[in-house]
Amino acid sequence: MGCCFSRCSKPAQGDQQPAAAGTAGQDAETGGEKVPKYSWDQRAKIDPKDYTFSGLKDETVGRLPGKVAGQQFVIQDCENCSIYIFDHSATITIDDCINCQIFLGPIKGSVFFRDCKDCKCIVACQQFRTRDCRKLEVFLCCATQPIIESSAGMKFGCFQYYYPELALQFKDAGLSVFNNTWSNIHDFTPVSGNNNWDLLPENAAVQDYVPLPSSDELKGVRISTDAAKSIIPITRGRREKSSDESCLAVFFAGDYTIANARKLIDEMTGKGFQLVQTKEVLMKAEDAHRVFKQCASELIPLLEKGPVVALEFNGDGAVEGCQSTVNDVFSETKVFVSESKASASQDVDNFYNFADMQMGM
């Protein structure tokens, strides 16, 4: 019969010491039960107050690049304020704000203005919506169709802005600088005989609506409102075209697709042609046959490399001007350009009808 006081042999060095009777599963130091540790317990705690501007009056406030980092943000009950969010966010709601100037960096999801009036804004987002708003003037980049509801006196222009961190913020928010439907407004509550929205003057200058920040903290952001430096290409959208002639140019995925597209924009606008609209979208083989027709077979293998970037230029001689520019500047880059003035309008319609269907518009 064994003895309850029999001595156990000393464990070899490195072996685990057996748990004392009655302490299995307990912390050796405290005697309490061990609490499992999870990765989410190691994350910094989020204080909603750090992502809220509320009840402010006659103030200039903002967040510097890196200070929001994809969190959701709330702006509410502010009056006569200048508000700048120089970072990307998840969603932003703006409620009951009066006579405010607001800049919002790239928003991965939606921005929703409710019960606001007499505000001037610069906004980049996936979805834009207003409800019960009056007299909002917005320089907008929106990947989907902007929606207004029970709102009046709304005016829209094309987003134009630059600071060094903005390009990466667009990428972090999952937004393409080429997908901007700023002028394609849908009014949920139209009023017969009235138009609840309009476009801002074509020569409207951003800094006249939302001035550069005046606070010492925010002055450190290196901002430019020069349209030529804008991270978003400035498009005419649904403004009346100056000519019956348009041209479609499509860049296929490669190492310099974005840079090449911007180069063509600079070259063509420098020659007096107008950039009407842009798109970045994935295409399949069946899409290529519909858009590129007889050229489709040679272009289909290029579609597997990634999304294409499409540009529409307008102006007398746009087709010939685009063809010559592409031949002179992009000799080693594959670019589809409308072959003739006769086919150009149909090329534009075919591509953008396809792109709008792809994006659910």
Give the CATH number, domain containing residue 90.
2.160.20.70
* 126 is an annotated ligand-binding site residue: yes
pLDDT higher than 80, residue 242: yes
Task: List, for residues 320-333, the tens digit of each pLDDT value.
Answer: 999 999 999 987 77
What pLDDT score was predicted for residue 37?
A: 66
* 336 is an annotated ligand-binding site residue: no
What pLDDT score was predicted for residue 286?
A: 87
Task: List, for residues 258-291, the tens digit of each pLDDT value.
Answer: 999 999 999 999 999 999 999 999 999 888 888 8
What pLDDT score was predicted for residue 291?
A: 87
pLDDT higher than 80, residue 153: yes
* Distance, first Cα to last Cα, the chain: 85
* 63 is an annotated ligand-binding site residue: no
Q: 147, 189 in Cβ contact below 8 A?
A: no
**Confidence at 193, pLDDT banded by 50, 70, 90:** confident
What pLDDT score was predicted for residue 26?
A: 53
pTM for this model (two decimals): 0.86
The Cα–Cα gap between 236 and 240 comes to: 8
In this structure, are 255 and 184 located in the same domain? no
DSSP H stretches of helix in the chain: 166-172, 206-209, 257-270, 285-292, 296-303, 318-329, 341-358
Query: What average pLDDT does the structure give for the chain?
Result: 89
Q: 65, 88 in Cβ contact below 8 A?
A: no
* 145 is an annotated ligand-binding site residue: no
Q: Considering the domain boundaries, does residue 332 fall inside one?
A: yes
Q: What is the CATH number of the domain that holds 304?
A: 3.30.70.141
**Domain containing residue 245:** 241-360
- Least confidently predicted of 29-33, 71-75, 303-307: 29-33
Q: Considering the domain boundaries, does residue 230 fall inside one?
A: no
The Cα–Cα gap between 154 and 173 comes to: 26
Structure tokens at 68: 């929001």
pLDDT higher than 60, residue 128: yes
- Read off the pLDDT of each residue in 172-187 and give the average, rounded to a whole number: 97
